[in-house]
Structure 1
Amino acid sequence: MLARYDRMCDRAAAEVISQYSTSFYLATRFLAPRVRTDVRNLYAMVRIADEIVDGTARAAGTDAASLLDAYQAHVLAAPASRFHTDPVLHAWANSARRCRFDDEHVAAFFASMRRDLSQSLYDPADFDAYVYGSAEVIGLMCVAAFVAEDPVPASTRAELDEGARALGAAFQKVNFLRDLAEDRDDLGRTYFPQLGDRDIDDTVKAELVADIRADLARARRAVPLLPKPARGAVAAAEALFAELTERIDAIPAATLYTTRISVPRHRKLYVTARALRRYRA
């Protein structure tokens, strides 16, 4: 009975990612089944925390700060118990035990989420801290999932961690550019220090795109070091965000406030297939 409940909770977590990130969901399809489950379970936990701080809790009339504190406590305590009535928490706990996710990474993630409840502008140091907690540690936890059953030497792990942090940072910065209008107008946030209280222009956009490309290049160098079952999926995710970066580069900066940039499905399939071919075993 417990195994059946585990499977149901894993499916619930997979449904979360399918509803919120089609690109990431597509990339995870190319992971080995066990790793795919762990990455999706991680994402589902993260997504719930995002919903708490991004207006959903407020829309429901709930105090977001108190709810976030309680959720962090539940997440950190969850791996100690084998059964949870919350399917996402149950799935997360199973993966956290299996992959030995670092509590410090979880705490850093929640620290960034807590910033979203009170901080609207960022200086360079605050920005780096926010990106580390909101995105880079997610990459580090993904590496933990990748190597849980395929251990790598310590020197390789260090390089993988560096690449994972770079890829997480790139993902976050791309999403900041895609969500400029929503973040500013609906949530009252401006993340990029270069903007402050002014709109983005083409010069700043070019600077940000160059920074993202540098992050993606660092991440790309680490892909061949990954265990084979993870290489194709990570390459596909990197390629999809590289495609988004090129599309952002090709439009006027002002368009970012009126159009959320995306990759059409047929192009996603092409970009994904091309990346997978590079790392076919």
Structure 2
Amino acid sequence: MSHEPTGLALYDKTARDAAAAVITAYSTSFALATRLLGARPRPHVRNVYALVRIADEIVDGPAAAAGLDPSEERRILDALEAETVAAIARGFSSNLVVHAFARTARECGIDEELVGPFFSSMRTDIVTSQHDAASHDDYVYGSAEVVGLMCLQVFVNAGAVRPARPATELIDGARRLGAAFQDVNFLRDQHHDEGALGRDYLGLASGESSRLDVLDRIDADLAAAAAVIPRLPADCRRAVTAAHDLFAALSTRLRRDSPSDERIRVPDPVKAALAARAWLGFAPRRQTTRAHA
């Protein structure tokens, strides 16, 4: 007798496989970190990442390269959000990535309070190119902090009979880790964002903030997140530690090296060493900063 999945089980598996293909194609670092997750949360985190990645691609170049103007990008993004919300309610979508996300959302308690701000930030990329401190914070909340909160919902609730609200300190840690990841990427992509997309997320071009201010904020956020990572479920700690330590290493390199057109990267052997360190159960690296947490 065959034990291969059929019907909805086969469709769910195919959707999960599609989400895994997205993360493998777009982020070697994130793919490496997810491999350190336990079997319980791993497919759900991939499902979250896949939807986030596709939405981001609508506003970050591929759609425009295909000939879409901003109004068409907006319509497609709005349609993706509407389909995502509907799929969470009904438990099915003809879009495989949306279907995978919706199954995760239903199991883990991800709702419109997190989905809505994410898509709002994606729409911001279509109409806003220059950010001040307030708009930066709003954008980072929707584009990164809520993604951290989605992952936290997975960490706490995957496999549970009924999703529960995570502890307050874990919520704060997830938000600050997401914010640190986003600000690191803003610094890494500064020249591309300004030159190719005409965007200044950090207010550096306008003098709203300085590079050192941003790095101090990143390190304060990383330190705050590191303090609560040991409180995560055991099958999630290694992966989150590896991701945290990778971005801590990027922050160190950004602080050490002068700004240039070349994107700062962590060499593969260093990534492997950080992953091994996390796998062995070491605590997250603690960042030192002159800023206040």
TM-score by length of 1: 0.92
8 A contact 2:35–2:239 mirrored in 1: yes
Identify the residue that residue 182 of structure 2 maps to in structure 1. Answer: 172
Q: In 2, distance between residues paired with 1:47 and 1:218?
A: 26
TM alignment of 1:12-91, pairs within 5 A: 12-62=18-68, 63-91=72-100
Q: In 2, distance between residues paired with 1:213 and 1:239?
A: 11
- SS of the equivalent of 2:41 reads helix
Shift of 1:101: 0.1
8 A contact 1:213–1:242 mirrored in 2: yes
Alignment-mate amino acid for residue 28 of structure 2: T
- SS of the equivalent of 2:181 reads helix
Fraction of identical pairs, as percent: 48
**Alignment RMSD, CA only?**
2.0
Shift of 1:152: 10
Q: In 1, distance between residues paired with 2:27 and 2:273?
A: 18
TM alignment of 1:62-211, pairs within 5 A: 62=68, 63-148=72-157, 149=159, 157-196=167-206, 204-211=210-217
Decide which structure has greater helix share: 1
CA deviations on 1:55-85 (whole Å, 9 max, x unpaired) are 2112222310111111110111112234322
Query: Runs ≥4 in structure 1, deviation > 3 angstroms?
Result: 149-154
TM-score by length of 2: 0.88
**Runs of at least 5 residues in structure 2 that lack an aligned partner in the other structure:** 1-5, 284-293
Identify the residue that residue 274 of structure 1 maps to in structure 2. Answer: 277
**Runs of at least 5 residues in structure 1 that lack an aligned partner in the other structure:** none
- SS of the equivalent of 1:278 reads coil
Shift of 1:102: 2.4
Alignment-mate amino acid for residue 193 of structure 1: G
CA deviations on 1:166-224 (whole Å, 9 max, x unpaired) are 000000000001111111111110001243279x9xxx322221111101001101101
Instruction: Count how many residue pairs are aligned between Structure 1 and Structure 2.
Output: 272
